[in-house]
Amino acid sequence: MSDVRVRFAPSPTGFVHIGSLRTALYNYLFAKKNNGTCVLRIEDTDQARFVEGAIENLIDTMEWPGISFDESIDNPGDYGPYKQSKRLDIYKKYVQQLMDEDKAYPCFATSEELEKMREEQIAAGQDPKYDGRYRDYPKDKAEQRMKTDQYVVRLKVPQTGETIVNDIVRGEVVFQNEVLDDQVILKSDGFPTYHLANVVDDHLMKITHVIRGEEWLPSTPKHVLLYQFFRWDLPQFAHLPLLLNEDRSKLSKRQGDVAVEDYRSKGFLPQALVNFVALIGWSPGDGTDQEIFSMEELIEAFSLERVNKAGAVFDISKLEWMNGYYIRTLDEGQLVEFLQPFLEDAGIDTSDKEKTAKICLAVQKRIEKATDVKTAAKIFINDVLEIDEKEALDILKEETARAVLETFLEKVNTLGHLDSDAFKPVMKEIQKEKGIKGPFLWKPVRVALTGAESGPDLPLVIDVFGKEKVCSFVQQALEKYV
């Protein structure tokens, strides 16, 4: 084991954002690549946002694509607890230290008071900012009020000088201290804010690399200040580019699915999602054009230096292509296992294992996600032939269509059993006898059986249908549409 330690530190607010998945993945890949340790820490310092069952869901959702943690609530290491709400005493101790050293101070302003202050600043054309009203409040007075009044603790940010953030992805980023707020580090309910908790925990948990979303970059100087106040070594920072909506705003719920759970329930394969998400904001370089990566290959190829700076649009159509690609690589057993629940959801009886497998094979090359079976497999549950598409109807209107279908019906009726092996010779015979071939021969049969001009490979369809249904449908086509 090298001493690389990284952490994925989500707040359990209900569902796992696809951007969180990528952050977790990059942390995981970086840890594995460097023989390091990947820690899962739950950032639940906001009581107002507590969601029942969120932590369990989070762990389950991360396991699904194969992201595992070396240390977590379930699997504690030497640096627990791994849940911030269980570390309150730790934070208090460090807040006290900061106050003792005059690097933090209590602030008795109420939320209403601050809100009013902000409004006045805006009205006066100023930039809203905490005005430091309790920054130099007399210590003895403050200590008295702390016994009775509600207060928060604020960081005493230096009013001059600059704070430099060194970032693996972005290089050196300089912030003037004067623009930094006196950040609240301890809330009036006794819980720390993210800023304090993540610094204390990262230090105590010996985190060497902080890999997180770019939205944290603006608050990083406050974190750096905290490290300096505590006289702790800084971790390395790597701020990842954001995942974007189509309109290039931060990927949000409003514009489509953002939860990993959504993609799971829509029938995306975990390996496809991992592969796709890895390639948003990172590429292997080295002149390779490789786009398909297993988790092992990603680990091998990954490096933070090759993470992109610019935000990236989450392009679902490419994800769908990639998922379709992975579906096509599944063997029969894997395919059936994957598709079966979705077939059931679509109202298809899967009790006949053999038939279910045939349906799966028939649709395999035609779907990009498992929920596509709903339309792709529709033809297998219809008992009555219905044709809506004009293109399909036109095919049955071809001069030769009637002859094809009538002959087909005659020949099939003489057969004891119809399957794909018996089907092909029948078509061959019709071709020879009637001199009709190609699309003119096959398409009328396709339309008669499936009601559409495109669908699964016909022999595969016939394997699923069997003689009786085939004859019934051709009969119906002749009666209703030819």
Partner RNA sequence: GGUCCCAUCGUCUAGGGGUCUAGGACACCGCCCUUUCACGGCGGCGACAGGGGUUCAAAUCCCCUUGGGACUACCA
Q: Contact 461/455 with Cβ under 8 angstroms?
A: yes
> Quick one: which segment of 98-106, 224-232, 408-416, 431-439 binds RNA (CB under 7 A)?
431-439
Neighbours of 174 (CB within 10 A): 9
378 scored as a contact of RNA (CB under 7 A): no
> Distances from the Cα of 257 to the Cαs of 28, 108, 270, in angstroms?
23, 42, 16
> Quick one: which segment of 41-49, 51-59, 62-70, 202-210 binds RNA (CB under 7 A)?
41-49
226 scored as a contact of RNA (CB under 7 A): no
CA gap 46, 53 in Å, rounded:
15
> Quick one: which segment of 27-35, 223-231, 311-319, 378-386 binds RNA (CB under 7 A)?
311-319
283 scored as a contact of RNA (CB under 7 A): yes
Q: Contact 99/153 with Cβ under 8 angstroms?
A: yes
347 vs 439 by CB, closer to RNA? 439
Cis peptide leading into 81, omega within 30 of 0?
yes
230 vs 325 by CB, closer to RNA? 325
152 vs 205 by CB, closer to RNA? 152
CA gap 440, 188 in Å, rounded:
79
Query: Binder to RNA among 46, 257, 262, 419 (CB under 7 A)?
Result: 46
188 scored as a contact of RNA (CB under 7 A): yes
DSSP state of 149: S
Footprint of RNA on 49-68 (CB under 7 A): 49
Angle at 251 between CA 281 and CA 288, to 5 degrees: 20
Q: Which pair of tokens denotes residue 327?
A: 């579906």
Q: Which pair of tokens denotes residue 21?
A: 């998945």
Query: Binder to RNA among 8, 11, 99, 392 (CB under 7 A)?
Result: 11
353 scored as a contact of RNA (CB under 7 A): no
137 scored as a contact of RNA (CB under 7 A): no
> Quick one: which segment of 200-208, 261-269, 310-318, 467-475 binds RNA (CB under 7 A)?
310-318
Q: Which pair of tokens denotes residue 196?
A: 């304090």
The arrangement of strands across the sheet holding 37-40 comes to 37-40, 5-8, 209-213, 236-240, 162-167, 171-176
329 scored as a contact of RNA (CB under 7 A): no
> Which alpha helices (DSSP H) does 158-269 contain, by range?
194-204, 220-230, 260-265
Q: Which pair of tokens denotes residue 351?
A: 């009790």
442 scored as a contact of RNA (CB under 7 A): yes
Query: Binder to RNA among 15, 456, 463, 465 (CB under 7 A)?
Result: 456
218 scored as a contact of RNA (CB under 7 A): yes
Query: Binder to RNA among 35, 120, 164, 179 (CB under 7 A)?
Result: 179
308 scored as a contact of RNA (CB under 7 A): yes
Rounded to a whole number of angstroms, the minimum distance from the CB of residue 3 to RNA is 25
205 vs 312 by CB, closer to RNA? 312
Closest CA to 241 of 212, 272, 221, 218: 212
Query: Binder to RNA among 70, 181, 297, 406 (CB under 7 A)?
Result: 181
376 vs 482 by CB, closer to RNA? 376
451 scored as a contact of RNA (CB under 7 A): no
Residue 152: beta bridge partners? 107
Query: Residue type at 10?
Result: P
> Which alpha helices (DSSP H) does 111-219 contain, by range?
111-123, 139-148, 194-204
> Distances from the Cα of 307 to the Cαs of 23, 170, 272, in angstroms?
12, 10, 20
Size of the site for RNA (CB under 7 A): 92
Query: Binder to RNA among 427, 464, 470, 474 (CB under 7 A)?
Result: 427
159 scored as a contact of RNA (CB under 7 A): no
Residues with catalytic roles: 253
111 vs 413 by CB, closer to RNA? 111
Q: Contact 41/77 with Cβ under 8 angstroms?
A: no
Query: Binder to RNA among 88, 313, 422, 478 (CB under 7 A)?
Result: 313
Query: Binder to RNA among 7, 8, 10, 36 (CB under 7 A)?
Result: 10
Give 3-state DSSP helix, strand, coil % of the chain, rounded to 5. 50, 10, 35
> Which alpha helices (DSSP H) does 128-219 contain, by range?
139-148, 194-204
Q: Contact 67/299 with Cβ under 8 angstroms?
A: no
85 scored as a contact of RNA (CB under 7 A): no
Rounded to a whole number of angstroms, the minimum distance from the CB of residue 334 to RNA is 16
> Quick one: which segment of 85-93, 134-142, 241-249, 378-386 binds RNA (CB under 7 A)?
241-249
